[in-house]
């Protein structure tokens, strides 16, 4: 390691101890979304996973995934760039291409998707400790900036601890632990295990910069998780996608900050995408972000849902503006013109749940967490009951809404390359 190179703790301090971390998300944590998420409280962001060999060898791939504004000092820092890899030299070559435009380079050891099995990367390296060690050590020895790693856990906590120690021994300077095993994906995602994350935290050297990942629905959960585990930072993926306000931990009294109005945040995000035309990735991801931001809203306004469904990456911004963004603004303005809006716009907290937090009822014109259905039933019993009563409604509005729910579910949970 060169003498000027920072270790994990020094880097973390230099970045201002950033404890609210936007997760790496394929097709979703691209430049525009990172800019938006930072405005709503994220203070460290990861890029989507990029394929190291392709990044190192294909100019076209690089152009599609990375632009001159990614990692820009004023716009896009602090930033960790994440790669998946199985060849130390390609990983190093890819990392060298970005080392001047980010604060650290991360190795993805968590991707559980079929494409990772085929490509032999992500969580499918979990049994190949020698290879993982080489991948990390080569960056640690030869890169100008620190290397970091994001791992999943094994069922066995002792094995996971040995695994984490190996990753740190190889040179990883931040360790992010996603508290799910490789098999927990899609319908089998289930809850992340904070116990095992805490066990790792308690048993790894105290100066390890340690992030926990999994189960964040509300800003309150970030504080609860950080206190319980005693970690340096909390990473959120899905919680942030459906509600960027989830990182606004210091503003829990301000509902516009923690459950932003969909019309306001959609406009803000749309203007950001337009302001970074260099970023192909931001343009490509926009439709999916629209669906996620508007998830609670679209079942009530199926006309707007149909408009979005017909649009694609080539649809001019003007059409997006008139048919979607302005249309949403108009509908929400009408809602806010109602005389009883104060009552309608209230947020209520449910009772304390076994998982340690409370579900909250949020009006559909505000961003809110999404409860992934398991075998067709969502985790939140209250929401499940609501869906059931909707299903029993025989009027055509109920029918339409249910159909829209199904379609939005398909749109927002299309298999990703995470
Ligand atoms: C759309 C999507 C894409 C993802 N892509 C990546 C990725 O590129 N790299 C990675 O390490 N994890 C990826 N993940 C996993 C998340 O970073 C995170 O570990 C996981 O979703 C658990 O966090 P959560 O409970 O806050 O969602 C992705 C997750 C989602 C929802």
pLDDT digits (tens, 9 = 90+) for 249-267: 999 899 999 999 999 999 9
pLDDT at 40 over 60: yes
In this structure, which residue's CA is closest to atom 20 in ligand 1? Answer: 237
Task: Considering only residues 113 and 397, tell me which one the structure prediction assigns the higher pLDDT.
Answer: 113
Q: Report the alpha-carbon distance of residue 388 to residue 265 in Å, rounded.
A: 30
pLDDT, tens digit (0-9, with 9 covering 90-100), for 159-172: 999 999 999 999 99
Both structure tokens of 304: 């707007």
Helix (H, G, I), strand (E, B) or coil at 86: coil
Helix (H, G, I), strand (E, B) or coil at 408: helix
Q: Yes or no: say if 259 and 366 are a contact pair by the CB < 8 Å rule.
A: yes
Mean pLDDT of all residues belonging to the chain: 91
**Orientation of helix 262-275 relative to helix 326-336, angle to 10°:** 150
Catalytic residue numbers? 111
Both structure tokens of 395: 């009027």
Q: Report the alpha-carbon distance of residue 129 to residue 125 in Å, rounded.
A: 7
CA dihedral defined by 321, 35, 56, 152, rounded to 10 degrees?
A: -110
* pLDDT at residue 383, as a whole number: 43
Confidence of residue 384 (pLDDT cuts 50, 70, 90): very low
Q: How close is the Cα of 212 to the center of ligand 1, in Å?
A: 13
pLDDT at 411 over 80: no
* pLDDT at residue 395, as a whole number: 44
CB atoms within 10 A of CB 58: 13
Confidence of residue 17 (pLDDT cuts 50, 70, 90): very high
* pLDDT at residue 29, as a whole number: 98
Cβ of residue 25 lying under 6 Å from some atom of ligand 1: yes
pLDDT, tens digit (0-9, with 9 covering 90-100), for 193-237: 999 999 999 999 999 999 999 999 999 999 999 999 999 999 999
Cβ of residue 49 lying under 6 Å from some atom of ligand 1: yes
pTM: 0.92
Atom of ligand 1 nearest to the CA of 109: 11
pLDDT at 375 over 60: no
Q: How close is the Cα of 23 to the center of ligand 1, in Å?
A: 6
In this prediction, residues 354-360 reach a mean pLDDT of 87
Task: Considering only residues 360 and 384, tell me which one the structure prediction assigns the higher pLDDT.
Answer: 360
Residue corresponding to tokens 């400790």: 129
Angle among Cα 226, 232, 234 to the nearest 5 degrees reads 55
Confidence of residue 188 (pLDDT cuts 50, 70, 90): confident
Both structure tokens of 131: 């290879």
CB atoms within 10 A of CB 397: 12
CATH number 1.10.3470.10 is the correct assignment for the domain at 8-253 = no
* pLDDT at residue 410, as a whole number: 54
Please tell me the number of Cα atoms within 13 Å of 5 on its side-chain side.
18
pLDDT, tens digit (0-9, with 9 covering 90-100), for 302-339: 999 999 999 999 999 999 999 999 999 999 999 999 99
Q: Report the alpha-carbon distance of residue 144 to residue 135 in Å, rounded.
A: 15
* pLDDT at residue 112, as a whole number: 96
Domain layout of the chain by residue ranges: 8-253, 263-342
In this prediction, residues 138-158 reach a mean pLDDT of 98
Q: State percent of the chain over pLDDT 70.
A: 88
Cβ of residue 238 lying under 6 Å from some atom of ligand 1: yes
């Amino acid at each position: 390691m060169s003498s000027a190179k920072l270790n994990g703790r020094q880097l973390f301090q230099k970045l201002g101890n950033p404890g609210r971390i936007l997760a790496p998300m394929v097709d979703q944590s691209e430049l525009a979304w990172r800019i938006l998420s930072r405005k709503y409280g994220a203070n460290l962001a990861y890029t989507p996973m990029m394929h190291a060999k392709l990044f190192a060898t294909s100019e076209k791939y690089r152009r599609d995934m990375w632009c001159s504004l990614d990692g820009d000092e004023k716009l896009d820092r602090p930033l960790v760039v994440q790669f998946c890899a199985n060849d130390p030299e390609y990983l190093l070559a890819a990392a060298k291409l970005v080392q001047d435009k980010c604060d650290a380079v991360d190795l993805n050891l968590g991707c559980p998707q079929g494409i990772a099995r085929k490509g032999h990367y992500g969580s499918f390296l979990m049994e190949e400790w020698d290879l993982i060690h080489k991948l990390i050590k080569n960056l640690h020895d030869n890169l100008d900036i620190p290397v970091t790693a994001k791992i999943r856990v094994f069922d066995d906590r002792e094995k996971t601890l040995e695994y984490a120690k190996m990753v740190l021994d190889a040179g990883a300077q931040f360790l992010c632990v996603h508290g799910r095993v490789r098999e927990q994906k899609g319908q089998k995602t289930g809850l992340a295990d904070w116990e095992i994350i805490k066990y790792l935290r308690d048993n790894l050297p105290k100066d390890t910069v340690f992030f926990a990942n999994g189960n964040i629905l509300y800003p309150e959960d970030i504080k609860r998780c950080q206190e319980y585990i005693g970690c340096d930072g909390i990473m959120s993926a899905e919680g942030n996608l459906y509600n960027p306000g989830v990182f606004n931990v210091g503003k829990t009294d301000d509902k516009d900050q923690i459950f932003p109005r969909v019309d306001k945040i959609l406009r803000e995000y749309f203007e950001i995408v337009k302001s970074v035309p260099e970023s192909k990735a931001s343009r490509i991801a926009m439709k999916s972000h629209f669906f996620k931001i508007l998830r609670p809203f679209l079942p009530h306004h199926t006309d707007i849902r149909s408009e979005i469904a017909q649009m694609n990456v080539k649809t001019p911004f003007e059409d997006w503006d008139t048919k979607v963004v302005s249309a949403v603004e108009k509908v929400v303005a009408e809602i806010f013109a109602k005389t009883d809006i104060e009552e309608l716009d209230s947020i209520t907290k449910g009772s304390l749940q076994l998982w340690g937090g409370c579900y909250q009822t949020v009006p559909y014109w505000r961003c809110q967490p999404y409860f992934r259905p398991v075998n067709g039933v969502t985790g939140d019993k209250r929401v499940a009951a609501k869906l059931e009563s909707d299903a029993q409604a025989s009027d055509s509005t109920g029918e339409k809404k249910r159909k829209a729910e199904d379609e939005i579910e398909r749109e927002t949970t299309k298999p990703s390359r995470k």
